[in-house]
Structure 1
């Protein structure tokens, strides 16, 4: 354990372990194995502990792992790690969870990480991301302190910055020692002050457009991305999306894919550090509901009253009927374990398996009269799926839009604390 690590709470460390592990899933490196082990173990534990039964079958555990991007051959090792921490017990019948609560998930992740005796480089990768989540941080301003706190040589420090950039632990703008680091959590903290600084840098027209978009999101909570993009224009939309001012989730079914926008701070009061899996689940549910409200044809069972649906979901625990939308609009959520679709004498039954996620989604959907929003949908050709906000934001940063990149760099310089 290094000195500066003590300054970060277990909740903060655990949150970044989950974040970094997601990035490592698509990276070819073994430099951060302890982060991957802790993050992956915690996400697997979260999925298993949300199941109804006391013991989860081996087959079901393998499927849950598959949905998290965990390969079959990785499972035994991760289950051994969880078993060593006294969190699960594995036998011939399956895997049993031992007194685990979702509220302590990030703490479990941090404990697992510390138990792997990680090197200073891995702690430094967490610290760098945490610094960039509060305000864009200049490389030259943090390099010496990171090297001293985590006993990093010059070569190790160079590895820290280069690998953090390539893997995606942090985002960056600029060159050399003046490079600025930040990440998608930038607007999850002190949002009002950061929004004010962004507004101060915009032209009068851009200010008016952004204020209009913010007002619409305050009233509705969740909007189709095409609606917000039309208000802002392509350049301003791309700049703000890249630096995390908006979050975009993607819902797809047999009719195509649709992007929905939320504000990063919309649900952070419910989850530690704003990084727990429940947040993505709630945004997936709210986006799917908004799709049904705005885009689903009446013949499929278009939802005209989201209040009725959410009240039934949360109060009774299910809704049912013969509408085909019940079977088709929530497939991604079913795979994630948020809802379950079954058949009954009254038609198709949609059961809410995670009441806390339903309550969070209601905060988004019922903030305004979403049924009256004029939607402009972006339709593609994707399999039924849900992509979280970080996926959509990363794709936006990869687009080659020089003017937007320049504007993003300018905004980050304004945000950086002096």
Structure 2
């Protein structure tokens, strides 16, 4: 894919999200490598669940149980708490801990800082780099290995470890291309589409690349936009190319006025999240589309959403919104069937009750900020590892599969041992 449209993000939140993602993958295998990713990922996951508690002070019994149900072993807890204390994120006492003003919005940044504080190895930085590149578009090994190797100053054996371990652990998805290994993010590009996506994106001419950048910029601001807007901007041929490779996803809002299509980028929700949360992501996309319909399509009489931020805040904090607007009764039927909301009517009007707050959090971030990465990763970070075993997991590793030690790490270990004799 042209460098004009391939962007390798160096933002702290992106690093933190990949650390959490990679840590989840490491929980399914036995690997002697990537210890700094594991430590920072587990500490970030623990910080996430602690910061969601109603009280800032958490006693030891509650803390142990929170760790247990989120896949953190009891023996690992003291070490993780000490790392959080050194980072200034908690205070520790004999009876428990106090969380020091940490919010969910800052979680990814703190996770990235925890990772950096461990002085990560070159290979650990490189597996994050490769995963980010493969999430932008499918990439062949021959197209990226030299650049990644030069960026992180990898030796030949470390470069080989980068690709072999990333495949075995599941940091990236992969497929044998026509003449090369092809890497991609399984949450964004299916195995069937990966080669086609690479060819399509690399084959875009300068004008098509310019239009794609404009469309991506529009979605970075809106998060969810009417399909007719994107089709008009891109033109029918380019739109068809991108839709066929699932570069964009289309959701439909159906009501008494017919069906309206809305578009978002899969990366807005799915980029860092394992397949086990697919249903929740679909719920968030459906809710985002329904709310966007109210913002851009509904008339004042039907129930236009004039201030999305206020409405969604009330919806999440209070748990419901109500009134006589027909939109409340007509625009959320799919979501009601999926169990996300419940629609009722009384002499007070129509009430839309929220059943899944975490879905609304992701939809809010998508609509207001154009990116639900933070909310999606928070959901992933606070779930037990056992809940994440989806199809991608079974393709790459059986439960607790032994992963061979990196060749570079083995050589280094032998060198150290020999010197100490």
TM-score in terms of structure 1 length: 0.53
Q: How many corresponding residue pairs?
A: 268
Please point out which of 124, 139, 153 is paired with 2:126.
124
The Cα offsets for residues 173-225 of structure 1, whole Å up to 9 and x where unpaired, read as 006971111114436x88989984365579xxxxxxx98xx547x88xxxxxx
The reply on whether 1:25 has 2:27 as its aligned counterpart is yes
Q: 2:157 maps to which residue? A: 155
- Once the two structures are TM-superposed, the CA of residue 391 in structure 1 deviates from its matched residue by 2.5
The Cα offsets for residues 139-172 of structure 1, whole Å up to 9 and x where unpaired, read as 0111101111101111001001011111110000
Write the distance in 1 (CA, Å) between the matches of 2:107 and 2:362. Answer: 21
The reply on whether 1:306 has 2:306 as its aligned counterpart is no
- Tell me the SS of whatever aligns to 1:100: coil
Change (3 A) 1:176 1:264: farther
The reply on whether 1:113 has 2:149 as its aligned counterpart is no
The reply on whether 1:85 has 2:87 as its aligned counterpart is yes
1:162-177 alignment to 2 at 5 Å? 162-174=164-176
- Tell me the SS of whatever aligns to 2:101: coil
Write the distance in 2 (CA, Å) between the matches of 1:33 and 1:137. Answer: 27
Q: 2:241 maps to which residue? A: 197
Q: 2:390 maps to which residue? A: 391
Write the distance in 1 (CA, Å) between the matches of 2:84 and 2:76. Answer: 13
The reply on whether 1:139 has 2:141 as its aligned counterpart is yes
- Once the two structures are TM-superposed, the CA of residue 107 in structure 1 deviates from its matched residue by 0.4
The Cα offsets for residues 284-322 of structure 1, whole Å up to 9 and x where unpaired, read as x9xxx9999659xxxxxxx8971359xxxxx9999xxxx
Is contact 1:55-1:94 (8 Å) kept?
yes
Write the distance in 2 (CA, Å) between the matches of 1:305 and 1:147. Answer: 49
The reply on whether 1:266 has 2:281 as its aligned counterpart is no
Write the distance in 1 (CA, Å) between the matches of 2:116 and 2:340. Answer: 50
Change (3 A) 1:93 1:146: same
Write the distance in 2 (CA, Å) between the matches of 1:56 and 1:317. Answer: 30
Write the distance in 2 (CA, Å) between the matches of 1:68 and 1:133. Answer: 26
Q: 1:368 maps to which residue? A: none
Write the distance in 1 (CA, Å) between the matches of 2:245 and 2:281. Answer: 22
- Tell me the SS of whatever aligns to 2:174: strand
Is contact 1:249-1:387 (8 Å) kept?
no
The Cα offsets for residues 339-386 of structure 1, whole Å up to 9 and x where unpaired, read as xxxxxxxxxxxxx8xx9636337879xxxxxxxxxxxxxxxxxxxx99
For the pair shown, which has the larger CA radius of gyration, 1 or 2?
2
Write the distance in 1 (CA, Å) between the matches of 2:95 and 2:38. Answer: 27
- Tell me the SS of whatever aligns to 2:91: strand
Is contact 1:248-1:262 (8 Å) kept?
no
- Once the two structures are TM-superposed, the CA of residue 64 in structure 1 deviates from its matched residue by 1.3
Write the distance in 2 (CA, Å) between the matches of 1:32 and 1:176. Answer: 31
1:301-340 alignment to 2 at 5 Å? 306-308=342-344
- Tell me the SS of whatever aligns to 1:8: coil
1:201-280 alignment to 2 at 5 Å? 214-215=251-252, 260=279, 262-263=281-282, 266=285
Change (3 A) 1:304 1:93: closer
Compare relative contact order (CA 8 Å, sep 6+) and give the higher one, 1 or 2. 2
Write the distance in 2 (CA, Å) between the matches of 1:294 and 1:317. Answer: 13
Which deviates more, 106-115 or 58-67? 58-67
- Tell me the SS of whatever aligns to 1:160: helix
Write the distance in 2 (CA, Å) between the matches of 1:294 and 1:65. Answer: 33
Is contact 1:14-1:106 (8 Å) kept?
yes
Write the distance in 2 (CA, Å) between the matches of 1:317 and 1:306. Answer: 5
Write the distance in 1 (CA, Å) between the matches of 2:115 and 2:357. Answer: 27
Is contact 2:170-2:397 (8 Å) kept?
no
Please point out which of 57, 64, 67 is paired with 2:59.
57
Write the distance in 2 (CA, Å) between the matches of 1:317 and 1:83. Answer: 39
The Cα offsets for residues 245-289 of structure 1, whole Å up to 9 and x where unpaired, read as x99657xxxxxxxx84744982999xxxxxxxxxxxx9xx9xxx9
- Tell me the SS of whatever aligns to 1:307: strand
Write the distance in 2 (CA, Å) between the matches of 1:260 and 1:358. Answer: 10
- Once the two structures are TM-superposed, the CA of residue 103 in structure 1 deviates from its matched residue by 0.5
The reply on whether 1:104 has 2:106 as its aligned counterpart is yes
Change (3 A) 1:171 1:356: same
| C-alpha RMSD over aligned residues | 4.7
Is contact 1:37-1:78 (8 Å) kept?
yes
- Once the two structures are TM-superposed, the CA of residue 68 in structure 1 deviates from its matched residue by 1.9
Q: 2:188 maps to which residue? A: 186
Write the distance in 2 (CA, Å) between the matches of 1:304 and 1:30. Answer: 41
Change (3 A) 1:16 1:362: closer
- Tell me the SS of whatever aligns to 1:306: strand
- Once the two structures are TM-superposed, the CA of residue 120 in structure 1 deviates from its matched residue by 1.0
Is contact 1:35-1:113 (8 Å) kept?
yes
